Amino acid sequence: MSRFFSNRLSSLVPYIPGEQPKDTKYIKLNTNESPFKPTQKVAKAVEKQAGLLQLYCDPECSDLVIKMSEVFGVGKENILMTNGSDEALNFAFMAFCGEETSIVFPDITYGFYPVFAELNNIKFEQIPLKDNFSICVDDYISVNKNIVIANPNAPTGIYLSLHEIEKIVVSNPDNVVIIDEAYIDFSGESAVKLTNKYDNLLVVGTFSKSRCMAGARLGFAIGNEKLINDLNTIKYSTNPYNVNRLTQSAGLAVLEENEYYMEKCREICNNREWTKSELKKLGFCMTDSTANFIFVSHGKIGGEDLYFALKNRGILVRHFSSEKIKNYNRITIGTKEQMEILIKTIKNILSKH
Ligand SMILES: *Cc1c(COP(=O)(O)O)cnc(C)c1O
């Protein structure tokens, strides 16, 4: 820390992203990316924009927002596009929380929430998950604080039904409820359809997982026009050109072939169910994940040991060292071929353990 770093931030502990090794020899199952490439149409769209990089991009992402409105069935005024959904989340923390309005979220969830709270000087409270790692909905009824819930949750993959989400939203009418739907395309119903009914519901989504665009950084928020206006106030006070030209064109091209990407999500869900059943045969315990990852532990090998054993054999998964989940690993679901190699490798590790 330099002697100039603000006192206010001196205890800030930044988010630690999953490893992104430079050598590509690993089977990379550690950051929930898609194993599939975007289509040629995306590459062509980006190439066309590459010749226009001397010009600023459209700060309103107009073409993209028109297509979003069609695909998601909401008004253009209900959408904000962002530089990854991390930015949408940060904007929401900045816009709706403060000294007097704190925020609550589960104790085991996306690791960025406490960081956004610390960064913006926001008080927060972490509500413990139940012993089976599911969210206790009653804990969020009438809490009188802002709420952020990842649905399905990370790293557990457990999904709360739309009915349960609605109960939380209805019971906290004077607070903003943020539903982070990074993995919803692999799961159940999206809360987007409730946004025209509740002015305190903000749904955040991303193109990073289900739409094969993690490297392009594209996310969005959907909600009541007034909420979106507030987020725009933050955006135009920090970075009006938050979504660059290349990413806007890539996002539009992806949405023009949305059905292809949704089909790829179904393929990943099939691979997930196959992987789950294979791992169960090998004695693994796991949560009922509906996302593009699974969260698994084994009675005979510790979480960290399995992580290193896999890494030594060329497979990267994500291990979290926090006490409650240190016996688990989060494994991204890849192609069927990658999953077959994973299972073979794990069999090999278990036989030698
Ligand atoms: C991956 C992830 C995000 C962030 O996605 P980006 O759009 O890549 O910033 C947000 N929330 C959760 C729960 C995630 O897992």
d(CA 328, CA 317) in angstroms, rounded, equals 10
CA of 4 to the centre of ligand 1 (A): 31
* Alpha-carbon separation of residue 122 from 2, 101, 129, 230, 286 (angstroms): 24, 8, 22, 17, 34
Sign for the CA dihedral angle at 75, 81, 84, 88 comes to: negative
User: What DSSP letter does each residue of 278-333 carry, written as one string?
Assistant: HHHHTTEEE----SSEEEEEETTB-HHHHHHHHHHTTEE-EE--SGGGTT-EEEE-
Does residue 247 have its Cβ closer than 6 Å to ligand 1? no
Q: Which atom of ligand 1 is nearest to the CA of 109?
A: 13
Per-position pLDDT tens, the chain of length 353: 999 999 999 999 999 888 888 876 899 999 999 999 999 999 999 999 999 999 999 999 999 999 999 999 999 999 999 999 999 999 999 999 988 899 999 999 999 999 999 999 999 999 999 999 999 999 999 999 999 999 999 999 999 999 999 999 999 999 999 999 999 999 999 999 999 999 999 999 999 999 999 999 999 999 999 999 999 999 999 999 999 999 999 999 999 999 999 999 999 999 999 999 999 999 999 999 999 999 999 999 999 999 999 999 999 999 999 999 999 999 999 999 999 999 999 999 999 88
d(CA 217, CA 213) in angstroms, rounded, equals 7
Does residue 218 have its Cβ closer than 6 Å to ligand 1? no
Does residue 110 have its Cβ closer than 6 Å to ligand 1? yes
CA of 2 to the centre of ligand 1 (A): 30
Q: Beta strand 146-150 with 177-180: parallel, antiparallel or unpaired?
A: parallel
219-230 per-position pLDDT tens digit: 999 999 999 999
Does residue 292 have its Cβ closer than 6 Å to ligand 1? no
Does residue 182 have its Cβ closer than 6 Å to ligand 1? yes
Tell me, yes or no, if the pTM score tops 0.85: yes
Does residue 150 have its Cβ closer than 6 Å to ligand 1? yes
Does residue 74 have its Cβ closer than 6 Å to ligand 1? no
Please name which of 145, 152, 97 lies closest in space to residue 119, comparing C-alpha atoms. Answer: 97
CA of 22 to the centre of ligand 1 (A): 21
3-state secondary structure of 106: strand
d(CA 158, CA 112) in angstroms, rounded, equals 18
CA of 219 to the centre of ligand 1 (A): 8
CA of 149 to the centre of ligand 1 (A): 12
Does residue 219 have its Cβ closer than 6 Å to ligand 1? yes
User: What DSSP letter does each residue of 13-34 carry, written as one string?
Assistant: ----PPP--SSTTSEE-SS---
Does residue 180 have its Cβ closer than 6 Å to ligand 1? yes
Please tell me the predicted confidence (pLDDT) of residue 21: 86
Please tell me the predicted confidence (pLDDT) of residue 118: 95
Q: Which atom of ligand 1 is nearest to the CA of 209?
A: 1
Please tell me the predicted confidence (pLDDT) of residue 100: 86
Does residue 85 have its Cβ closer than 6 Å to ligand 1? yes
Please tell me the predicted confidence (pLDDT) of residue 353: 81
Q: Which atom of ligand 1 is nearest to the CA of 214?
A: 8
Please tell me the predicted confidence (pLDDT) of residue 207: 98
- Residues 129, 154 contacting (CB under 8 angstroms): no
Q: Beta strand 293-298 with 201-206: parallel, antiparallel or unpaired?
A: unpaired
Nearest alpha carbon, ligand 1 atom 11:
182
Q: Which atom of ligand 1 is nearest to the CA of 206?
A: 7
CA of 111 to the centre of ligand 1 (A): 10
d(CA 288, CA 286) in angstroms, rounded, equals 7
CA of 87 to the centre of ligand 1 (A): 10
d(CA 101, CA 203) in angstroms, rounded, equals 19
State residue 10 phi and psi, 5-degree precision.
-60, -25
Please tell me the predicted confidence (pLDDT) of residue 214: 98
Other C-beta atoms lying within 10 Å of the C-beta of residue 85: 24
Q: Which atom of ligand 1 is nearest to the CA of 31?
A: 1
